[in-house]
A = this chain, B = another copy of it.
Amino acid sequence: MAKRIDDLKVIGNKRLNNDFFILELFAGTNIADFKPGQFAQVRIDGSKETFLRRPVSIHDVDYENNTFKILIQIVGKGTKMLSGLAEGDLLNIIYPLGNWFTLPEKTEKVLLVGGGCGIAPLLFLARYFKFNGFIPDILLGFRNNARIIEFEEYSKIGNVFITTEDGSVGEKGYVTSHSVFSTQKYDRICCCGPETMMKALAAYSKNRNIICEVSLENLMACGIGACLCCIVDTVKGNICTCTDGPVFNVNDLKW
C-alpha cells in the first residue's frame, strides 16, 4: 500500500464541542485504500513553535464521495492551528501510515473501546468490522457531558455504551468499570485511548484470554520508520510505533 504525500482540500470543519472537531478532506478520485487504525501525518503551518508534523488517526472514510475524516482534540499549538482550517484550505498530509486492527478469522464477539481522542479510529473500525460481518459493541468514555462527542454514527453500526467520569451521561466512572464487562463475554477487544485505560484493558484481557489490540500514541517525528523516535519496548525489542504499529496485540507489549 503505497504511502502518499498530498495537499488535500478541506471540505468541512465541524466543531463537536470545546475540544473536538472533525476535518473532512477530499481525497480525489484515486482515493487511497485505508485500513482501520491507520494514521496520517499532517503538516502544521503558521506557527513558529510547531516544527514537526502531527499524527492523527483516520476517523472515517467515505469511498462513495472520495473523502475521509480526521477527528482531532485540541491539546496544544498544532491542534489549535488545525482547528482554524476552513473549507477550501489545503492540508499537506502523508498517508495512509502504519498497520491496522486485525480482522477476526472466525466468528467472534468484538468490543471496541475508546477514551478521549482515542475514539477517533473506532468509527472507521466499526464500519469495517460490520462490513466484514462482525457487529461490534462500542464502549466510549468521556470526562463529562461537555466532552461528549456525537455518537449517532456509531449507534448505526452497533450497540453503544457510554461512561462519563461525572456520570452526566451513561454510567459513571471509567470505561474499565462499565457493567458491560460483567454482562457480556467478548472474544476480542480493540482499544484506543489513554495509556492507563489501555493497560487496564490489557490486564483484563490477558487474564481472560481475550484477544486485545491497542493503538498507541507515541511521540513521532517522521511517521514513516526513518527516525526511530517512536519506539515501543516489545517482546521483539524496540520497534517502531509508526510502522510496526500503531496497533499492537497486548501480548507483544511489555505491559
Q: How many copies does the complex hold?
A: 2
- Whether A106 is near chain B, meaning CB under 8 Å from some CB there, is no
- Whether A156 is near chain B, meaning CB under 8 Å from some CB there, is no
Segment among A5-13, A46-54, A159-167, A200-208 that sits at the interface with chain B = A46-54
Q: How far is the CB of A25 from chain B (nearest CB, A)?
A: 21
Q: Which of A22-80 contact B (CB under 8 A)?
A: 45-48, 50-51
Which chain B residue has the least Cβ–Cβ distance from A50?
Answer: B48
Which chain B residue has the least Cβ–Cβ distance from A51?
Answer: B48
Bound together, the chains give a CA A51 to CA B48 distance in angstroms of: 8
Bound together, the chains give a CA A45 to CA B50 distance in angstroms of: 13
Which chain B residue has the least Cβ–Cβ distance from A81?
Answer: B46
Chain A 208-232 interface mask (CB, 8 Å, partner B; 1/0): 0000000000000000000000000
List, in ascending order, chain B residues with CB within 8 A of A46's CB.
45-47
Which chain B residue has the least Cβ–Cβ distance from A48?
Answer: B48
Q: List 7 A-B contacts (CB under 8 A).
A: A45-B46, A46-B46, A46-B47, A47-B48, A48-B48, A48-B50, A48-B51
Give 7 closest A-B pairs by Cβ, nearest first: A46-B46, A48-B48, A46-B47, A48-B51, A47-B48, A45-B46, A48-B50
